[in-house]
Amino acid sequence: MKRSHWFALAFVVAALLWTGSANSAEEKKAVKLSSSSIQVFPVSSDEVKIPAEFQMALYEHVIQELQKSGKFQHVYREGDRAAADAADLIALRGNVTGFKKGSEGMRQVTTVAGTTSVTIHCQFIDKSGKVQLERDITGKVHFFGGNLRATYDFAKKVAKVVEESF
């Protein structure tokens, strides 16, 4: 192949890469949401049942991580009367869509087997009821730690989604 052909090919590839990155940057910009306050609701478990302690651990960890993220001036809990006055309130609701049963015992023994994971379909809903953003987020505990760690991992990932999207 001639040298000029190589140059042409390199130019086309570079152009493609540039337009691709520009598009993805635009997409990222497009999904950026703005809100000064968020209200967190406990996850529901319509199809996949989870125990109360798991539900509450998810709820409390998510509130804690959202407060830590500093993305919102107010992080309201379900039922908080002050949330009614927040103009640009976003509600975070989740529904458990899947889980993989793990075993802390197996994790302790093998450190590779016995992974626990919980997947929750999360929706960020504005005051008019329109879903602004939705993601499936999975919390896992791979190696060491009890099942509580999966709820913490989930909350960390929710905070990461918030960091990227708000």
Partner 1 sequence: MNMRRAVPTLFVAVAALLGAMLLCPSSFAQEGVTVPETKQVLGLEGVKPNKTGILVVEKGTLGFKFGKKKVDVPANSIEDVITDKDSQRAIGGFVGTLTMFAPYGSGRFLSLFRTKIDTLTIRYHDSSGGLHGAIFSMPIGKAEDVKKELLAEGAKTTIPIEPAATGPAPATPKKEEPKQ
Interacting residues with partner 1 (CB under 8 A): 42, 49-57, 59-61, 76-82, 99, 101-106, 114, 116, 146-148, 151
Q: Nearer Cβ to partner 1, position 51 or 129?
A: 51
Shortest CB 27 distance to partner 1, Å: 35
What six digits make up the tokens of 31?
A: 């999904």
Q: What distance in Å separates the CA atoms of residue 3 and residue 17, rounded to the nearest whole number?
A: 21
Provide CB contacts within 8 A for 118, sequence distance 6+.
Answer: 50, 54, 58, 96, 98, 99, 100, 138, 139, 150, 151, 154
Shortest CB 86 distance to partner 1, Å: 13
Collapsing DSSP states into helix, strand and coil, what is residue 8? helix
Shortest CB 132 distance to partner 1, Å: 23
What six digits make up the tokens of 104?
A: 């802390």
Q: Nearer Cβ to partner 1, position 99 or 124?
A: 99
Q: Nearer Cβ to partner 1, position 42 or 71?
A: 42
Shortest CB 39 distance to partner 1, Å: 10
Q: Nearer Cβ to partner 1, position 140 or 165?
A: 140
Collapsing DSSP states into helix, strand and coil, what is residue 41? coil
**Phi, psi of 98, deg, nearest 5:** -170, 155
Shortest CB 161 distance to partner 1, Å: 22
Report the alpha-carbon angle 157-66-36, nearest 5: 125
Q: Nearer Cβ to partner 1, position 35 or 151?
A: 151
